[in-house]
Chain A
Amino acid sequence: MKTKQWIQDNTYHYSQFNDIGALVDKKREKNLKISLCLPTLNEEKTIAKEIIIMRSELMHRFPLLDEIVVIDSGSTDNTREIAKSYGADVYLADDILPHIEKFKGKGENLWKAQYVLEGDIIVYIDADIKNIHHRFAYGLIGPLLLRDEVKYSKAFYDRPIAVDTSKLKPSGGGRVTELVIRPLFSLFTPQLAQIIQPLSGEYAGYREILEQLSFPLGYGIETSMLLDILGKWGIDIIAQVDLDKRIHRNQDTLSLGRMAFGIMQTFINRAEKMGLLSVADDLHHSMIQFSQSDENYSQDIHQIQLTERPPIITIPEYREKFGRS
C-alpha cells in the first residue's frame, strides 16, 4: 500500500537533522533564504524565549535562518515591544497590505506573512510553546533541504498539555485530531490519515507551494493546506517530523468544540470542491453551545464564518514584489 511506503520514506525524527552545519551548507549550496514566522496574539510570556533561542542557535551559532518575523493580530499586552527588544521584525497584521479588507486570526497572519517575508522557505511556529527549542525550526527545515522532492513539512509531537499553570498532563493532546479530523481523513482522504498530527501548528514549506494555497482565516488553515497540497501535488511532497515534546496551553472542551466546528466546515467545503461529497443545502454558520448557571441552561451561539484569503500569488502587490508574472 502506497501510504505505508509514504510513512516509511517521509517520516523523520528531528535528531536526524541535528547536524545543523550540514543544513547550512545545503542551504548555501541551493542559494536559499529561510524565514521564520511567529504569529502572535498576547504572547508576552513566551515570545521572548522563542526569539532568543532561535536567534542564538539558528542565526548566531548556525546561520540557518535569515530572518525572524512576528506578525501580530493586535496584542493588548507587551508582545510586540518584547519581540522588538530581542531583535525580531514585528508587524501588525493590519498594517500589511492595508488597502485590502482586514480580518483577524492566525490564518490572516500566516497569509500576510508571505508578503513581508523574504525567504524561499517559510517556517511557521506557534508563539505559545513553553518548552521552545531550536529543533522546532531545524527539524522542519531538514527534509526540505535534504530531500529535493519534499516541499512541505509538518510537525508531530509527544505533546503533554498544561492542565493549569502548574501541572503537566503526560498525554491527552490532540482531541480534535482523534475525534474529528482523523475520522474525516480516514473516510474521504485516507492518504492524509497517515499524518500523525495534521492539526499541529508548526509547519514549513517552499514559497512556491504556499503562495498557491488559499488560507482560511479561522480554525481550518491546517486542514485546508493538507487537502489542497494533496489535491494539487500529491502526498509525496509532504514530510512529517517528530519534534519530541511540545508543552503548550490547554484549551477547554467548549473551545475545542468551536475548533472542531471550524475544521469540519473547512473540510466539507474542500471535500465538495474535490468531488468527494455533496451537501444538499448550504451549511449553517452557527455553533450552538450551552452553559449552566443556577440550574439554568443558557444557549451560546457562536458565528463561525468560513472566510478565506485567496492564494497570495493572485494579489498584484505580491506578484510585483516577488516578480511573479
Chain B
Amino acid sequence: MNTNKKYLSGYPDIIDTLHTLKEVIISNIVMIGQEPMELQVIKDDDVAIANRSPRAAMFSERIGALSSVDECTTDSDGNPVALIKGRSPGKKPIIVCAHLDTTIKDPEDPTLWVTDSVITGPGIADNTVSAGALASLPEILEVLNIHLESDLYIVGLSQSLGKKNLTSARQFIANWRHQPRGAVILEGIEIGRLNYYSLGMVRAEITCQIPAVTGWEHKGETNTIIIFNEIINRIMAIEVPQRPKTRINIGRLDAGLKYGDTALTGTMGFEVVSDSLAMVDAVYGKIEDIVESIAYESQVTMQLKKQSNVGAYSLGYNHPLVKSAVSVMEELNLKPKISSSESELAVFLARQIPTITVGLTHGENVHKENASVEIEPMFKGIAQIIGILLAIDGGVCDEN
C-alpha cells in the first residue's frame, strides 16, 4: 500500500470550493448548537409520546431535508443517522460521526456569536463545530461531486460525555450487524490532532457524607475536606509503574458550602489511565481499599462509583488508515499531533473497526461558556475529512 498517495490531488481547489458553503456550514453549526441537548418530552394532545433531544432533532432536520441523503432516521438510542448510498452496493459501509452533547449543561446564555473570524459560545469547541460540519457533509460531497463506492453513514452520537459513558457509541456499534470498512470520529479541536489508540481508563467518583447522628460510634473525622485530604495523600502514595505507563489524575473536588461551616458532604472525581487495562484495574482496586478503610476509620459514609471506563486499544501507527491520514494532513500542510483518546475511538477499536479521531480547527476556552473556534482553519479540517474518506473508500482499511 502506497501511503504517500495524494488523496486530494483530484481536488486542487478544495479549500476554495468549501468556502462556497461557508454560510451553510456556519448555519448548521449555529442552528444545531443553540438547541438544548437534554431530552424533552414531546406531547400530542397532552399525552407524552416521546422523549427527544432538540439538538439531535435539529441535526436530523438539517441533514434529512437534503436531496443527496437517501435515508435519515433516529436509532433506538436517540442517535440521528443519515445514509448516503454508495455506487457499489456490495462494499462495506463507512461511518463518520461526532458526539452532539457538550460538557456545559444548561448554559446561562446558549447563544452562539459569529464574527468574520470566530464563533463563540458554550460547547462550540467540544463539539458543536463538529456536529455542524458533520451535518454539512452531504452538501460538501455534492459540491465536490464526490460519490463514494461505499455507503456512508453520518451519525450524531447523542450520549457520550461524563456519566453517559459513551452510551450512544456503545449502543450504535452493538446494533451494527456488518463490520464497517472504517470510521472517522470528529472532534472540534485541535486541527492536526490524530488519535488512533486509546489507553485503558476508568473514571470514578468518591462521595463522602458525615452522618447527621451523634453517639460514640460517630466520633471520627467531622469534615469531608479533611477526609478527602487523607484519601488524596494515600492515593499519591500508590506506586504506579513506568511500564506499562500509568497515571492517576485527580481532576475534581467539591466539598462544603460556606467558609465558616464544616463541610459535611463532598465528591471527588479521578481517573486512572494506563497502557494496560490490567494495571488500571489493579490501581483502581488499591483506591477501592483506601476508600473502604478510610470510611471505617473515620466513621463516615463513603461510596466509590465508576462513571466511565474504556479499554486499551490501538490501531497501530503502521496501519494504512493512520498512514493515509498523515498523508492527507501533510497534503494540507497540517502537522499531525498524535495522542491517545479515551472516547468513542475506544468503542470502535474494541470492535476492531479501523477508526481514527481527527480535530477540525483551532479553539480556546474549550469547556467554558466563552469557548471559541476559528472559522478559517475549519475548511482545512473539513478537507482533511474528505481526504480520509476518499482513502477509506479507496481501500486503505481493506488490506489488514
Contact = CB atoms under 8 A, between A and B. Distances in A.
B46 to A, nearest CB: 19
A131 B111 contact: yes
Interface centre among A44, A51, A60, A78 (most CB of B within 10 A): A60
Nearest to A55: B23
Interface residues of A, number: 28
Nearest to A168: B109
B116 A85 contact: yes
Contacts of B24: 56, 60-61
Nearest to B34: A131
B112 interface: yes
A44 B111 contact: no
B250 interface: no
Given A53-B30, A55-B23, A61-B24, A81 B109 contact: no
29 contacts: A44-B115, A49-B112, A49-B114, A51-B23, A52-B23, A52-B27, A52-B30, A52-B114, A53-B23, A55-B23, A56-B23, A56-B27, A60-B24, A61-B65, A78-B116, A81-B116, A82-B116, A86-B22, A130-B111, A131-B34, A131-B111, A162-B109, A165-B109, A166-B108, A166-B109, A167-B108, A167-B109, A168-B109, A247-B111
Interface string A172-187: 0000000000000000
A49 B30 contact: yes
Interface of A: 44-46, 48-49, 51-53, 55-57, 60-61, 78, 81-82, 85-87, 130-131, 133, 162, 165-168, 247
B31 interface: yes
B111 A86 contact: no
Contacts of A44: 115
A48 B115 contact: yes
A222 to B, nearest CB: 25
Nearest to B26: A52
Which of under 10, 10 to 19, 20 to 34, or 35 or more describes the interface residues of B?
Answer: 10 to 19
B109 A133 contact: no
Given A56-B23, A56-B24, A86-B116, A133 B111 contact: no
A61 to B, nearest CB: 7
B11 interface: no
B317 interface: no
Interface centre among B24, B27, B109 (most CB of A within 10 A): B27
Contact of B23 (A45, A81, A86): A86
A52 to B, nearest CB: 5
A48 B116 contact: yes
A162 B115 CA distance: 20
A57 B62 CA distance: 10
A61 B113 CA distance: 22
Contacts of B108: 166-167
